[in-house]
Chains A and B, each alone.
Chain A
Amino acid sequence: MSRFLVHRFLQAAALVAIMSFACYALIGLMPGDPIDLLLSSDPRLTPEDVARLKALHGLDRPLVERYLAWLEKAVHGEFGYSRLYAQPAAGVLWPRLVNTAALMGTTLVLAAGLALPIGVAAAARAGTRFDRIVNALCFAGISVPTFWLALILILVFAVSLGWLPAAGIPMARDPGVVDRLRHLVLPVATLALATLGGHVRYVRAAMVEALHQDFIRTAHAKGLAPRRVLWRHALRNALLPYVTVLALDCGTLVSGALVTETMFGYPGMGKLIFDAVMGNDYNLALLALLLVTALTVACNLAADLVYAALDPRIRQR
């Protein structure tokens, strides 16, 4: 078991290291640089200004050299300054991370909380009209372009009905909890509607699988109440694969949701990564991408370990 653990851990670490270079190189492959972009918005800039700024931001040095310099510092925990925000990259990242965790966490809890009862109910009535309707609704949710859904929600609930704010974050200086939550409703609803279908289908599939195992038949034969069999025995078995799926999904807790964030003016990680990549802000983009990768890898590892702990066949390997 411990050998397995060490092995998987080393693999994960190597993956993150390789990823850091891949990200750096990918950003380097993007054409143009932000100093040239400045020119188009400010014709007063002279050629000397451009050369000076490029040298200052290190954009005139070769890619590999810049990467190695970055790596050396990163190993010591220094992730450098964000070029766009002129602040330490970690400092820029932190508030966005909190925002994104709030948005994605609420969504995940809501989606999972709704998916469990719906999925179980559908599985218990597999093949009935109820099951088919749930299935159809799931497909509908999965198939809507997110930005379109967001726009419709804004138009209906914020503009026409005026029930909810259209922006994702309140502008008061010290917003109360209620105010924050009110602003979260529409973005969370958008994301939840878009992801709920997938969750319900996972739960349903896992439950259908569990309901056909021998011990369920035995439980029924023993004369246990059907509801008890469903919620106690079957659900417990179905939870393991579903929790694994959730664990794999937790990378999105930090990678955010670019489209939803853009539509609701929500300052989260998705938008930050997009802006950093587009603005050639290497330090910021790298730190954000690495964080997302590391967390995803860690979640995968955790899911593996949970599985290994619970499933004797894997442990023996």
Chain B
Amino acid sequence: MRRRRPILASLCLLLALALVRPGPAAAAKDELVIGITQFPSTLHPNIDSMMAKSYVLGMTRRPFTAYDRKWQLVCMLCVTLPTIENGLARPVDLPDGRRGVEVTYTIQPGARWGDGVPVTTKDVVFTWEIGRHPMSGVTSAEGYRRITRIDVKDERTFTVHVDRLTYEFAASGSFQLVPEHLEREAFADPAQYRFRTKFDTDPTNPGLHFGPYRIVEVASGSHIVLERNSTWYGPPPAFRRIVVRAIENTAALEANLLSGAIDYIAGELGLSLEQAMAFETRHRDRFAVAYKPGLVYEHIDLNLDNPILKDRRVREALLLAIDREKLTQSLFGGRQPVARGAIHPLDWIHADDLPAYAYDARRAAALLDEAGWTRQGGGTRLNAAGEKLTFELMTTAGNRTRELVQQVLQSQWRQVGIEVRLRNEPPRVFFGETVTKRRFPAMAMFAWLSAPESVPRTTLHSQSIPRADNNFSGQNSTGYANPEMDRLIEAIEVELDRDRRRALWHALQHLYAQDLPVLPLFFRSDSFILPRWLSGIEPTGHQYPTTLWVENWRDARP
């Protein structure tokens, strides 16, 4: 029997490990553990654009301006929001005949980096230097390149000269400050900057951030630990410590929440709506679920080069034949509003009088008959040449919600005699090749993420159609080209008067609903799974994360 002991011993050890548990959790929590589904690869604010990174950095730094939860542009790092009325923004005529703008910002007086060094205009100029350098590896450089000059007034005040006047002049969300006193050395060789930046080589350096929290530990692929930053100029946050934990599998994420290993699942990168609704019905005693329909526009791009889809009647019939209202009611509990176009109903420019294209199978059938696609009995419609009315609907493989919607749509189209075949690809293939190179033969279902009042130049302007001769740049993957749409886009961009701009926006939305280059589906909702004791989290519904207001979060228990 001597040989049995190792087994016995290891079983005892296992049991002991199972029963030794850390002391009971404190009543009033000063630590918050947040679960998200993605781990940020780099922590440099201007390299790569990943939601997980924006989420974490929302706690450690602030952009100059951001949209708040009422979708109004507000100042974060600046003192006063520049407008033309208050004189801080001034349109100017440029030598080449175009119109530019000069915008003046003042940095918050108390702003200091975590190592005590004040945030100054030196950092602003340095960030601009990095941003416009072609070798620095900054992802979105457009905003930096548009800046022709920065005039420094003093330590905290500066004026930016932009070579193009648009109504979005103050939306500087992508201008994220980099500390000059720490990063200058790494930028000595710009081509090596992205490898040498302290954001990745020394991510816990307190001097890299100036927000309410600073990063104290990065466990790659697992979690990031943040603690209060003593140099923060705003109201002190309630939680002493915040841990952001990445668990990719949502079933495992949910299990971690239930077992108490994490406190809260962020809506920005959390459970699918369906999962959240199922969760809510079972655990509403302990958790509250907040749903926020956001600026994620789920839609189906139609390839307008497809001979069948060229016919507008067919496109309208496709839209009329699907019951989007019933779909969102039954799959999403009505929490994802049906979209009438690309503009979100909460956006102030939204036109409320757009045609609804509500479910009407009879009208759809009539339109198809009219377009020459007739049906004998219950099969697929044929045209005069005996060809079948058939399309291929593609989307990202592995996205369960999309796959469900896809199968519902397929089933509904079959009712009116439209045969739809499904073909899905992994996201990297789907976005990397199929959509960007317009390789989908008929329909591609995916989502656009946008900001409030964002101009659809890259998605609807005829110059943005990806072609071999422009190296497949642009995101107008339907191939939509309408001179009137081009005119409206160009006019909106430079119209500073809100009322006139709204009128232009309404015209654009009506034209979109008339031409139907895209079948609008719905706006996706984020679901935030909050423990009952956690208060202060206010979902925004756009790409600015809730963490930008992390200092308002608190444990509501006495």
Contact = CB atoms under 8 A, between A and B. Distances in A.
Query: Is there a contact between chains A and B in the complex with CB atoms less than 8 Å apart?
Result: yes
Interface string A31-44: 11110111111111
B176 interface: no
A267 B159 CA distance: 45
B376 interface: no
Contact of A185 (B18, B41, B454): B18
A105 interface: no
Nearest to A161: B18
Given A117-B3, A182-B20, A41 B195 contact: no
Interface stretch (B71-79, B134-142, B488-496, B526-534): B134-142
Contact of B142 (A44, A95, A265): A44
A266 B20 contact: no
Contacts of A114: 7, 10
A158 B475 contact: no
Interface string B5-30: 01100100010011111100000000
A32 B19 contact: no
Nearest to B191: A56
Contact of B197 (A41, A45, A51, A86): A86
Interface stretch (A71-79, A164-172, A290-298): A164-172
Nearest to B216: A173
B48 A31 contact: no
Given A85-B41, A167-B247, A265-B246, A45 B432 contact: no
Contacts of B6: 113, 117
Interface in B194-230: 194-195, 197, 200-201, 216-217, 219-223, 225
A113 B7 CA distance: 8
Interface stretch (B57-65, B384-392, B443-451): B443-451
A264 interface: yes
A39 B20 contact: no
B255 A158 contact: yes
Interface residues of A, number: 73
Contacts of A44: 140, 142, 174, 458
B142 A46 contact: yes
A45 to B, nearest CB: 6
Contacts of B4: 117
A243 interface: no
A43 B458 contact: yes
Interface stretch (B106-114, B256-264, B415-423): B256-264
A15 interface: no
Contacts of B219: 169, 171, 267
A263 interface: yes
Interface stretch (B284-292, B315-323, B466-474, B515-523): B466-474
Interface string A48-64: 11111100100000000
Interface stretch (A16-24, A137-145, A149-157): A149-157
B428 A278 contact: yes
Contacts of A278: 426, 428
Contacts of B433: 31-32, 36
B432 A36 contact: yes
Interface in B448-485: 448-450, 454, 458-459, 470-471, 473-475
A84 interface: yes
B251 interface: yes
A87 B248 contact: no
Contact of A262 (B216, B248, B427): B248
Contacts of B261: 158, 165-167
B3 A231 contact: yes
A43 B259 contact: no
Interface string A162-187: 11111101010100001101100100
A265 B222 contact: yes
B49 A264 contact: no
Contact of B44 (A45, A86, A182): A86
Which residue, A49, A51, A113, A271, has most C-beta atoms of chain B within 10 A? Answer: A49
Contacts of B14: 185, 189
A220 to B, nearest CB: 20
Nearest to A265: B247
B142 A49 contact: yes
Nearest 3 CB-CB pairs, A to B? A32-B432, A47-B473, A267-B221
Interface of A: 30-34, 36-53, 56, 81, 84-88, 92, 95-96, 110, 113-114, 117, 147, 150-151, 154-155, 157-159, 162-167, 169, 171, 173, 178-179, 181-182, 185, 189, 231, 262-268, 271-272, 278-280
Interface of B: 3-4, 6-7, 10, 14, 17-22, 33, 41-42, 44, 47-51, 134-135, 137, 139-142, 174, 194-195, 197, 200-201, 216-217, 219-223, 225, 243, 245-249, 251-252, 255-256, 258-261, 426-433, 435-436, 446, 448-450, 454, 458-459, 470-471, 473-475
Given A151-B252, A167-B247, A265-B252, 11 more contacts: A38-B48, A39-B475, A40-B435, A41-B449, A81-B195, A87-B195, A150-B252, A169-B223, A171-B245, A185-B17, A265-B246
20 contacts: A31-B428, A31-B429, A32-B432, A33-B428, A38-B49, A43-B475, A45-B140, A45-B142, A47-B471, A86-B197, A87-B200, A166-B256, A167-B256, A169-B219, A171-B223, A182-B17, A185-B14, A262-B252, A265-B222, A266-B222
